[in-house]
């Protein structure tokens, strides 16, 4: 599976653990809700800065954000 799709699924999973909507996470991370939606679908190629914002909003490390993602 594509890395962006895996990452999107991971973000969605972590967001659901917090019982947050996409809007909640977008607001906490300071990113656009539509951008976050695209990320979760795997149709965006995020920058490290964006991933850092999302990880911080979820109160996890970047390492934790990428946990279980297979990079080929």
pTM above 0.75, yes or no: yes
Contact 57, 50 (CB under 8 A): no
Taking alpha carbons only, the member of 6, 34, 22 closest to residue 58 is 22
| Residue 52: per-residue pLDDT | 97
Distance from the first to the final alpha carbon of the chain: 9
Element (DSSP H or E) covering residue 41: helix 33-41
Tens digits of pLDDT across the chain (72 residues):
899 999 999 999 999 999 999 999 999 999 999 999 999 999 999 999 999 999 999 999 999 999 999 987
Query: Mind listing the domains of the chain with CATH numbers?
Result: 3-65 (1.10.260.40)
């Amino acid at each position: 599976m594509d890395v962006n799709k895996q990452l999107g699924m991971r973000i969605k999973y972590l967001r659901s653990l917090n019982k947050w909507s996409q809007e909640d996470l977008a607001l906490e991370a300071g990113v656009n809700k539509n951008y976050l939606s695209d990320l979760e679908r795997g149709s965006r190629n995020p920058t490290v800065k964006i991933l850092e914002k999302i990880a911080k909003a979820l109160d996890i490390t970047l390492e934790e954000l990428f946990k279980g993602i297979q990079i080929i």
